[in-house]
Amino acid sequence: MGPIPIARSSSLQWRREFNIKFVKRVVFNPLIQLLIAMLAASALHSNLEPSVIRFFLTVSVCLRELLVFVLPFLLFSFVAVALSAIPREGMFFVVGLMVVVSISNFLNILISGGVGFFILSGMEPHPISESKLIFSPFFELNLPHVAETIHALFAGIIVGFVNSIYPNKRVSFIIHFLHDCVLKFMKKFFVPLLPVFVGGFLLKLFSEGRMTGFVEQNTKICIMMCGFLWCYLVLWLLAAASFRLNRAVEIFKTAFPAIVTAFSTMSSAAALPLSLVAAEKNTRDKVLADAVMPLTMNFHMVGDTIVVPIMAMIVMLTFDHPLPSLLNFIMFGVFFVLNKFAGGGVPSGTIMVTVPVLREYLGFDDSMIAFIIAFYGIMDPIATSGNVSANNFFVIIFQKIRKGIKSKLAIGRV
């Protein structure tokens, strides 16, 4: 047999490299990893010794304690760094944008809560089965309680704004150093172990017989939740297009590549270059697009603010937990919105920084936390594409609001 032609050899090498990259992309995809962890827990729990289940549960509990220990540092440093980056001359613009984004996020949560109550009142999911078996970890780390997450959040806001107005090199170095350390911990350690974190708690739930029938009982509700999200986004699109159908189609076509990228990568950051191009085309204002899109990418998350509250209520009913009072839900909404300023840059950051809020105001325990993290992982493509869609429409709406305010101010001066 003669030597393989050079062209054929290079083609085979290219295919081999492509296959390796494709396999790595699939294997290291967070959604695939979470699905594998859930399927493995479901399939293997009945064949595992109790000591093995307790071992994985111990790992999950230790990871949960590490997360709770790190969260105050995450909230403080991420918020402080984000607000410190605001230039003094651009303070009014950025603060105004943040106020509009915060109001939008809060209203979305209230709307989501109302829709969630409506959907679940008509189709209550059956609680998961009670268990005679109770698995507990071998030990807990009992790490010290550094600070309340709410205090850390407000401290980050104060330090960030003060450092923005009166920049201090030492303060900037400290908060950036802390930010980088936390980010490395999350990206290099906790997020890669997320399937293990979720898997240990799921093994406990499956082994205790508390997961029977969840998918069958809640599939219809999840479909309705996703349907509501996309109907809501259509309203955003129509508002951006001033309710002109031709203009709406044009805006959607321009934003579509960014939306598809967000869905496939589960990352608003990956879709940002395409979102910038789309925003520039749709607003015909490059300066505005470059100013608004990067900020809203991390803070304005319509998909999350619609999906997470309904998911939380589904989990509460699934675990036979009463739904929150109106006051508790409003408090949950307020701190959920504030925590949005600390989730950027961390995979699954939205649900991670929401953990203390879920505990404090909705009464979530460890099993419910692990369950909603896994649940969010599955819904992440839909939520992220919803975030990117809304932000592409929001920049057009924000442009209209800004023009309206400018015109009124001009008339007032006259």
Digit-coded pLDDT (tens) for 98-130: 888 899 999 999 999 999 988 887 665 555 555
> What's the pLDDT band for 371 if we cut at 50, 70, 90?
confident
| CB 294 within 8 Å of CB 98 | no
* Percent with pLDDT over 70 in the chain: 83
pLDDT for 71 equals 83
CA Rg value for the chain: 23
Domain that holds residue 51: 29-413
Residue 58 lies in a domain: yes
pLDDT for 164 equals 86
pLDDT for 113 equals 93
Cα separation of 48 and 135, whole Å? 13
Residue 257 lies in a domain: yes
Q: Inform me whether the pLDDT recorded for 396 exceeds 90.
A: yes
Residue 1 lies in a domain: no
Average pLDDT value over all residues in the chain = 83
Q: Inform me whether the pLDDT recorded for 240 exceeds 90.
A: yes
Closest by Cα among 305, 299, 316, 303 to 358: 316
**In terms of DSSP H, where are the helices of 85-193?**
91-122, 149-165, 169-184
Residue 11 lies in a domain: no
**Crossing angle, helix 366-413 and helix 349-362, to 10 degrees?**
100
Residue 20 lies in a domain: no
Distance in Å from the first CA to the final CA of the chain: 90
pLDDT for 344 equals 54
pLDDT for 87 equals 72
Residue 13 lies in a domain: no
DSSP conformational letter for 193: T
- Higher pLDDT: 182 or 306? It is 306
Determine if residue 143 is left, alpha or beta; phi over 0 gives left, psi from -120 to 50 gives alpha, anything else beta: beta
Residue 106 lies in a domain: yes
CA 374 to chain centre: 12
pLDDT for 397 equals 93
| CB 279 within 8 Å of CB 392 | yes
Residue 23 lies in a domain: no
> Number of structural domains, the chain?
1
| CB 282 within 8 Å of CB 395 | yes
pLDDT for 214 equals 63
- CATH number at 40 reads 1.10.3860
Token duo for residue 286 = 């490059």
Digit-coded pLDDT (tens) for 267-293: 787 788 889 899 999 999 888 888 788
